[in-house]
């Protein structure tokens, strides 16, 4: 019993004959895209949000400033306590 091969012996030549590279089609110079103002705004917001995420959570300059103020034993008085309480209430919209 004899089995004869079908087609070329080299399987690579078979692939190169059937799968030729396609040339990229030329695009029409009139093709363009338009980005809406909403999309541009969303892009800017995304960019700013990424910058905020990358920023430090702790403002070390403010921490150093408060540490220096707290070294003074006369710093904390009724006026300071009232101002801090007012600012916290304002921050949380508590009136």
Q: What is the pLDDT of residues 24-83, one digit of tens each?
A: 666 667 788 899 999 999 999 999 989 888 887 888 899 999 999 889 988 888 998 999
* Per-residue model confidence as pLDDT tens digits over 7-27: 556 656 655 555 555 566 666
Distance of CA 53 to the CA centre of its chain: 8
- Give, in order, the Cα–Cα distances in Å from 91 to each of 1, 62, 65, 94: 93, 18, 21, 8
Can you read off the two tokens belonging to residue 26? 């030329």
pTM to 2 decimal places: 0.32
d(CA 41, CA 24): 34
Where are the chain's structural domains?
A: 59-95
- Give, in order, the Cα–Cα distances in Å from 31 to each of 9, 85, 92: 47, 60, 51
């Amino acid at each position: 019993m004899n089995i004869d091969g079908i087609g070329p012996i080299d399987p690579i030549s078979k692939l190169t004959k059937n799968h030729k590279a396609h040339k990229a089609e030329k695009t029409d110079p009139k093709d363009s895209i338009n980005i809406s103002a909403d999309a541009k705004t969303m892009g800017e917001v995304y960019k700013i949000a990424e910058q905020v995420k990358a920023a430090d959570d702790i403002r070390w300059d403010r921490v150093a400033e408060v540490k220096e103020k707290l070294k003074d034993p006369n710093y904390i008085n009724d006026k300071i306590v009232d101002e801090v309480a007012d600012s916290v209430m304002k921050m949380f919209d508590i009136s």
